[in-house]
Structure 1
């Protein structure tokens, strides 16, 4: 069992995906810290693990790394490569469009709820987290990061 786990954790496709996601999250944390020009108030581990939105897109980095490393590992003519490319396209499209629309809808709902609360006195609990979609540059940088890490991992494997 231990040997199987080592093989999984050292597999180039797993390494490419994990390293791309992790590097994107760390870069996102650094970008956020530079924007604020001070230390982040929240603990670092939850921010690195769970922060969504921002530069670069970890979703785009992860799925691009997976598709690229599967292409290198199994061949660009494999069924798994085709599947991973289409999966990446769906995830990247979602990161740009659907999540942005959901965030905009959540903001409108919060404003409407606050208005109802003020006018009618009805208690309103706002949406806790407004999800923001990614911009094209955030997605593009994520894709470049994912491709680059997959390339390096494949060359070193």
Structure 2
């Protein structure tokens, strides 16, 4: 094995074994699992494919996996690197942007898309004009973001202290 390949393999192993990486991925996955359970409890008509899509891909809902992942990452960086590090500062402000976007921009655009689709379908029914619906992106309510952030903080603390 060449030196470059060895360095690359060691770097990947270090990255994947990093508590920062592990806490971020674990918190994202657990938030998605909780979201799937909440979805299952709310609507009993869900099939296995929809649950799998929720776990892997779907956005919106309780708790916010975006908030969970970035808060776990930021908390892990704070614990490992310290709150005075440049990495923590960058992570902290990026986390704020992600969480604000989840509550604000994505939520607003999803609500606008829903209204536009309602209007478009109404025009289609009344006037016979063909309408192609736009994607309704789901954002988060503030409570969903707070719960996600708390989940991420607890998971990062668990990786650091347990």
Aligned to 2:157: 151
Pairs within 5 Å for 1:47-62: 47-62=54-69
Deviations along 1:21-56, whole A, 9 cap, x unmatched?
000000101111111246x31424322110111110
Tell me, which stretches of 5 or more residues in structure 2 are unaligned?
Answer: 1-7
Match of 1:72 in 2: 79
Q: SS of the counterpart of 1:54?
A: coil
The answer to whether residue 112 in structure 2 is matched with residue 114 in structure 1 is no
Question: Which residue of the partner structure matches residue 27 of structure 2?
Answer: 20
Report the secondary structure of 1:133's partner residue.
coil
TM-score by length of 1: 0.90
How many residues matched? 154
Runs of 4+ in 1 over 3 A off after TM superposition: none
Q: Which residue of 2 aligns with 1:35?
A: 42
TM-score (norm 2): 0.88
RMSD: 1.5
Whole-angstrom distance in 1 between the partners of 2:125 and 2:44: 36
- Which is worse superposed, 56-65 or 104-113? 104-113
Alpha-carbon displacement from aligned partner over 1:47-93 (angstroms, at most 9, x marks no partner) = 21101111100000011011111111111001110111111111111
Please tell me whether residue 10 in structure 1 is matched to residue 24 in structure 2: no
The reply to whether residue 100 of structure 1 matches residue 89 of structure 2 is no
